[in-house]
Structure 1
Amino acid sequence: MAAKTHCPAGHPYSGDNLFHDKNGGRLCRTCSRKHKAESYWRHRDRICAERAAKYVPTSNRRRHRHGNITVSDEQREALRIIREQGE
């Protein structure tokens, strides 16, 4: 059986458009970029909310002697709610 020369969307499996996954399978870079972009925009609100909840303004940071940053109870609660909504 001959190897396929194009992905299902019609892009060629050659040159810069071809890469191999960890299992040795061939993947189309063009399709991979498209799927990653679609996934980002689909989950953008959740991703941005998680990043905002993790952010601790400089004025509110309290450092322990080992350099760890303490997160307030409100921020911890916001993260918990966001994680529950994602499940």
Structure 2
Amino acid sequence: MSIRVHHLECGRMSPLGGGPFLYGDSAHRHLVCHCLLLELPDRLVLVDSGFGLADVADPYARLGRVFVRAMRPRLEPGDTAAQRIEELESLRD
């Protein structure tokens, strides 16, 4: 059985006060939500999901006000696993 592994970036965060602890120039200081998509012959398996469409739609209710203000996640529909998987599928067509 062959398994294909895809690395997906499904969100970014720019935590308050994180500058001194994160590497890179100021435009690239962020934390990434790394996710893996395992492509099996009969199904896809997502390992971690990053931020989802529901998180994007209502971040304070889903993630909490303190988390959103402290971690400053970039919440874009295009960064969600759902969108990333759709992009991979469209590349195959």
- For Structure 1 versus Structure 2, the TM-score category normalised by the shorter chain is under 0.3
Query: Which of these two proteins has the greater Rg computed from alpha carbons?
Result: 1
TM-score normalised by length of structure 2: 0.24
As a proportion of its length, which structure holds more helix? 1
Higher relative CO (CA 8 A, sep ≥ 6), structure 1 or 2?
2
TM-score normalised by length of structure 1: 0.25
